[in-house]
Amino acid sequence: MSWLRPVDRWLCDEVLPHKHAYLALARRLTRNAEAANDIVQDVYAEVLQGDTWKTARDPKAFVLRIVYCRSINWVNRQKIVPLHPLPEYEGLSYADFGPDAFDNLSGREELEAVLEILADMPARCRQVITMRRIEELPPREIARRLGIDLVTVRRHMARGVAILTERLGQRGSPRKGSTIDNQDIPSTKVE
């Protein structure tokens, strides 16, 4: 991907893998999930605009500090005095913002379910889903590699996502924020 700037590579490699930590910190400080998402997105935009990212020795701590400051500013602008004390930033470096045991177990169970469903899926659907969702190839590249047209790729993608959604729904509702979404389903009905 030669079109990526160095700051984009840095963001993808060093910053985005810690997205859950940034969101957890912002949620903890603001007590507002929507505001937390907005704050984290604003921080990403701010980091991409300047050159300060070049001097950051610890990218995760660098971005956490900015999220912390933006969250405190948001709380201060809210004219509502929180009844809980705000933690000191220095103490946050030892906190674990990663997924808890329940999230880990549910994630593993969902992954096992998806892999089982993929194994039972028609071969072409499985190939397209794997290339799109796991290898993250664009639809045009999938069409080129498989020697099929783009409409066919989208149909296989739609059919595969429909199979996954239906079968996961039969097992129980997938968790909110699961990896399955409808961005690749064409707007026309597929028979």
- 51-63 pLDDT, tens digit per residue, is 777 777 888 888 8
* pLDDT band at residue 126 using 50, 70 and 90 as cut-offs: very high
Alpha carbons within 13 A on the beta-carbon side of 169: 7
Query: Position 17: which residue type?
Result: P
Number of Cβ atoms within 10 Å of the Cβ of 22: 26
Q: Supply the pLDDT for residue 148.
A: 93
CA distance 24 to 22: 5
CA distance 79 to 167: 47
Cβ pair 160, 125 in contact under 8 A: yes
Condensed to tens digits (0 to 9), the pLDDT of residues 99-125 reads 777 777 778 888 888 888 889 999 999
Alpha carbons within 13 A on the beta-carbon side of 135: 13
Global pTM value: 0.41
169: tokens are 């729904």
Q: Is the pLDDT confidence value at 169 over 80?
A: yes
Span 141-169, average pLDDT: 91
Condensed to tens digits (0 to 9), the pLDDT of residues 10-40 reads 778 888 888 889 899 999 988 889 999 999 9
Q: Supply the pLDDT for residue 91.
A: 57
CA distance 23 to 89: 15
User: Percentage of residues in the chain with pLDDT exceeding 70?
Assistant: 77
**Ordered structural domains, the chain, with CATH:** 6-92 (1.10.1740), 101-171 (1.10.10.10)
Span 77-90, average pLDDT: 65
Number of Cβ atoms within 10 Å of the Cβ of 45: 9
Give me the helices (H) in the chain, please. Answer: 6-10, 19-30, 33-49, 59-77, 89-92, 101-120, 123-129, 139-146, 150-171
Q: Is the pLDDT confidence value at 189 over 50?
A: no
Q: Supply the pLDDT for residue 158.
A: 92
Q: Supply the pLDDT for residue 151.
A: 93
Q: Is the pLDDT confidence value at 182 over 60?
A: no
